[in-house]
């Protein structure tokens, strides 16, 4: 086989150090995308896929190069890989939650599930943020590993917590969300994405942002149970921008519903449940952490848009599509001015993902009573 096009090796560091590579090769006038992955110094697992049709390019060769480049870029942008193999590129991704099912509560068996007593916390509607001190500065990244810029008011307080509580030990991380009830989710996302310049209005709004911490962990000992981790958070020094997320001990099944409803009445999305003895599981959706919400939300691709009618004239109505290819319309949340701005710039959002909140799916698989919550940035 002859190499037609190769791309730089990519690396990812979690508990182990992984490498991934991709290239386009030719054999007997046929073109293949060849990948290999594994731990550095260990066995590399190869995979070969033939490209036999020019879907969007003039030739099969160009199509193969196009697809390989897209795979390489996705691995780099979305999966936490880097071209830098040095240890400074370590990316720690947070533990994610499963959906809570009341029927499985305390169900006997080997499967991990929520067990009583457990801890309950409000579910925030902010941007996930993992923070640590690398020996020189405070590093803040999203759940996808993208860095936060600016937010010096939060960095200052994070340094205070990490230096005083953990003596600057670099293996300790803070886990929480950038949030404020004074701004919409879309506004918070916009501020978190800023990387070059900040307007006077942005700077004013950015000062409203808080860092709501609901967990912490030590990469040198991930087995430390949540019952101890939450006690550490409770002992953090008081600061202006760091909020310690309230944590409630839940002893009985009957306490779950009222606690959920109380949090929702206070403006939160729902309830997060955590096992008392749970370890921290990096870059994993853990059964030890479960979310309980009475409404459903899913992401759908925006395929187009139209103008609202009557009082909604000049505002946007999104056209979305389900995985099965069925189309439906959905109006976004927000002020009239915000929805008019979305309509004026509607073309910019076609092809992006819209988080849609709905009551349930119809028999046709369409969201019932859908509301467009936010246009999702895949990095946040």
| CA distances from residue 203 to 43, 151, 153, 181, 207 in whole angstroms, order as listed | 50, 9, 11, 17, 7
**Going by C-beta distance under 8 Å and a sequence separation of 6 or more, which residues neighbour residue 232?**
165, 216
| pLDDT (0 to 100) of residue 15 | 60
Q: How many CB atoms lie within 10 A of CB 169?
A: 13
Cα-flanking dihedrals φ and ψ of residue 165, to 5°? -80, -40
pLDDT at 88: 44
Parse the chain into domains and list their residue ranges.
2-87, 96-292, 296-376
Contact predicate 12/82, CB 8 Å: yes
How crowded is residue 83: how many other Cβ atoms within 10 Å of its Cβ? 12
Q: Lowest-pLDDT range, 39-43, 145-149, 169-173?
A: 39-43
Sign of CA dihedral 329, 335, 336, 339: negative
CATH topology of domain 96-292: D-amino Acid Aminotransferase; Chain A, domain 1 (3.30.470)
The answer to whether 96-292 and 296-376 have equal CATH topology is: no
Q: What angle do CA 206, 263, 216 make, to 5 degrees?
A: 60
Contact indicator for 174, 213 with CB cutoff of 8 Å: yes
DSSP secondary structure, 36-95, as one string: EEEETTS--EEEEEEE---SSSSSHHHHHHHHHHHHHHHHHHTS--BS--SGGG--PPPP
Residue 240 scores a pLDDT above 60 = yes
Residue 292 has pLDDT above 50, yes or no: yes
**Residues in CB range of 186: below 8 A, 6 or more apart:** 334, 338, 374, 375
Assess whether pLDDT exceeds 70 at residue 273. Answer: yes
Secondary structure E strands in 107-204: 118-123, 127-133, 138-141, 172-179
The pLDDT value given to residue 14: 64
Cis previous bond, 117, omega within 30: yes
- Rounded distance between C-alpha atoms, residue 146 and residue 79, angstroms: 11
103: DSSP letter: G
Task: Report CA-CA distances (Å) from 338 to 228, 272, 312, 358, 377.
Answer: 44, 30, 12, 21, 18
Which has the higher per-residue pLDDT, 91 or 177?
Answer: 177
Task: Give the tokens for residue 373.
Answer: 């919550």
- Contacts of residue 363, Cβ cutoff 8 Å, sequence gap at least 6: none
Average pLDDT, the chain: 91
CA distances from 168 to 37, 132, 163 (A): 35, 9, 4
Beta bridge partners of 51: 31
> Which pLDDT belongs to residue 90?
63
**Residue 293 and residue 270: Cα distance in Å, rounded?**
5
Distance, CA of 216 to CA of 23 (rounded, Å): 39
Q: Which residues of 308-343 are buried (b: 16+ CB within 10 A; e: fewer)?
A: beeeeeebbbbbbebeeeeebebebebeeebbbebb
What are the tens digits of pLDDT across the range 99-139? 999 988 877 776 789 999 999 999 999 999 999 998 889 99
Q: What is the average pLDDT across 252-267?
A: 93
Query: Taking a C-beta distance cutoff of 8 angstroms, is the pair 253, 118 a contact?
Result: no
| 296-376 under CATH 2.40.50.140, yes or no | yes
pLDDT value at position 359? 80
CA distance 201 to 151: 14
């Amino acid at each position: 086989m002859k190499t037609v096009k190769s791309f730089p090796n990519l690396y990812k560091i979690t508990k182990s150090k992984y490498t991934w590579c991709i290239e386009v090769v030719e054999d007997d006038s046929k073109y293949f995308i060849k990948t290999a992955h594994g731990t550095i110094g260990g066995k590399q697992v190869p995979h070969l896929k033939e490209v036999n049709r020019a879907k969007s390019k003039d030739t099969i060769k160009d199509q193969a190069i196009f697809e390989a480049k897209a795979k390489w870029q996705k691995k780099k942008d979305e999966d936490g890989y880097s071209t830098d193999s040095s240890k400074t590129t370590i990316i720690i991704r947070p533990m994610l939650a499963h959906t809570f099912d009341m029927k499985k509560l305390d169900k006997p068996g080997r499967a991990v599930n929520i067990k009583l007593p457990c801890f309950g916390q409000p579910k925030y509607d902010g941007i996930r943020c993992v923070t640590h001190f690398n020996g020189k500065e405070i590093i803040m990244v999203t759940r996808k590993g993208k860095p936060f810029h600016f937010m010096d008011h939060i960095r200052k307080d994070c340094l205070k917590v990490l230096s005083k509580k953990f003596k600057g030990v670099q293996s300790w991380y803070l886990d929480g969300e950038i949030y404020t009830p004074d701004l919409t989710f879309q506004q918070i996302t916009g501020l978190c994405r800023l990387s070059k310049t900040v307007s006077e209005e942005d700077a004013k709004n950015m000062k409203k942002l808080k860092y709501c911490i609901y967990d912490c962990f030590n990469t040198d000992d991930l087995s430390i149970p949540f019952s101890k981790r939450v006690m550490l958070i409770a002992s953090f020094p008081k600061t202006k921008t760091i909020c310690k997320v309230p944590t409630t001990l839940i002893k009985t099944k009957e306490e779950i519903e009222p606690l959920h409803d109380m949090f929702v009445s206070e403006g939160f999305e729902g309830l997060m449940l955590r096992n008392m003895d749970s370890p921290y599981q990096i870059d994993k959706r853990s059964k030890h952490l479960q979310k309980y919400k009475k409404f459903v939300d899913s992401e759908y691709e925006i395929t187009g848009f139209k103008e609202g009618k009557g009082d909604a004239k000049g505002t946007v109505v999104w056209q979305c599509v389900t995985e099965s290819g069925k189309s439906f319309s959905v109006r976004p949340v927000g002020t009239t001015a915000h929805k008019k701005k979305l309509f004026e710039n509607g073309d910019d959002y076609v092809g992006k993902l819209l988080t849609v909140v709905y009551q349930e799916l119809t028999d046709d698989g369409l969201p019932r009573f859908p509301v467009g919550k936010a246009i999702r940035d895949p990095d946040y």
